Amino acid sequence: MKVWQIATGEPGRDYRELFLDHDIMILGPSDRGNALENNYADGVPNSAGSQVHNFAHKPKPGDRVIMRFAHDVIGIGQIPQDDPLYSFVEAFRCVYGWDLCHCRRVIWAEQYGLGDLANIFHRAKQKPSFTQVHERHIVEMIHAINNSHFDRPLKEMPSIDVSTYTEETLGVELFRAGISNKNIDDILKALQQAGRLCSWYWSEHCGRSPSENEVVSHIILPLFLGLGWSHQQMAVEWNRVDVAFFKNTPTTEDNCVMVLEAKGLGRALSEVLEQPQGYVNNLKLKNTRYILTTDGANLFVYGKSGDRWNPNPIGYISASSLQKKYVLPKGTNLVDTLVMLQPSLV
């Protein structure tokens, strides 16, 4: 019996609930397709491709898996005896913006007290997303867990419509939601531009990653102009806020209804929410309804629960994957998010 460890995202993009709700573990990148049909092994130990190759080919039924978040162990699982070993699941094409289509089934122990296991990686260096665990004392602790903790049926896989919109069907849905034809044309154009730009930035033809200022000017401003916001309602670099949105003019604190924090393309958005929250509090923006965070390819919308900001996004847009629904952030979909961000509704 071998022991493996796998990571479940980062603060602000934590997908452990997928693991626990559906008895799975998932991994990316998925750009080459099914790992049983396409070669991910690039010869470099612990590279992203090598991890995918090992994930698809090496774990066996009966092996145990440590689920971790950062340096904390948060779960222990076992690969079931009737496991189909490996599958490529399109539903995980966009999980908080990450493509994590490589999937294996794992029965995660429920109501199991981790005790000292929770801290076994606290002194370890940064670990790859997926690797075999060789430390003898850790392996012995995992082997000592009774099999009864994994003696139950597998939970169901997610069943939501993750198909992507065509330009025509998205336009129809936006029209049904009450958005005007003029705004729909502008929104579709802005989304197309954002998708093309992200694809180009990630390609070898670009050779660089755009700064947050470039993300704002090339992707964010065109999208919000398409949504119906005027230039007068959007202030860039306003009181240290990357982009501030105003219900009316003048662009004063009382009229600010939304703020956006931008990062460069591909930059981690973990713990980014704390920064714009600080701006809202320090500037006393009492009428601000939404905080947005973005790296250009992904845009997350956060709302308030009473006087506190909800740590989970209530809206989400992926410029690279215009899906009807997303497994995470849970409960978000493209049309609802675009409607939510209409200036008349903020």
> Residue 130: its pLDDT value, please?
97
> Residue 95: its pLDDT value, please?
92
- Separation of alpha carbons 256 and 45, rounded Å: 50
- Separation of alpha carbons 244 and 253, rounded Å: 10
For the chain, the domains span 3-150, 167-340
pLDDT tens per residue, range 299-318: 999 999 888 898 889 999 99
Taking the domain 167-340, which CATH number applies?
Answer: 3.90.1570.30
- Separation of alpha carbons 92 and 101, rounded Å: 5
- Separation of alpha carbons 244 and 239, rounded Å: 9
Closest CA to 51 of 17, 96, 4: 4
Q: How many helices (H) and strands (E) does the chain have?
A: 9, 18
Question: Per DSSP, which regions of the chain are E strands?
Answer: 3-7, 9-10, 13-14, 24-27, 64-69, 72-78, 87-88, 102-105, 107-108, 130-132, 234-238, 241-246, 256-262, 290-294, 298-302, 304-305, 308-309, 315-318
> What is the distance, to the nearest Å, from the Cα of residue 6 to the centroid of all Cα atoms in its chain?
16
pLDDT tens per residue, range 53-91: 999 999 999 999 999 998 999 999 999 987 678 999 999
344: left (phi over 0), alpha (psi -120 to 50) or beta: alpha
Residues of the chain below pLDDT 50: none
> Residue 267: its pLDDT value, please?
76
> Residue 97: its pLDDT value, please?
86
SS3 80: coil
> Residue 161: its pLDDT value, please?
87
Fold of 3-150: ph1033 like fold (3.10.590)
Beta bridge partners of 87: 103
- Separation of alpha carbons 192 and 299, rounded Å: 15
Tokens 């956006």 belong to which residue?
260
Count CB neighbours of 217 within 10 A.
14
What is the pTM (predicted TM-score) of this model? 0.87
> Residue 311: its pLDDT value, please?
85
> Residue 270: its pLDDT value, please?
63
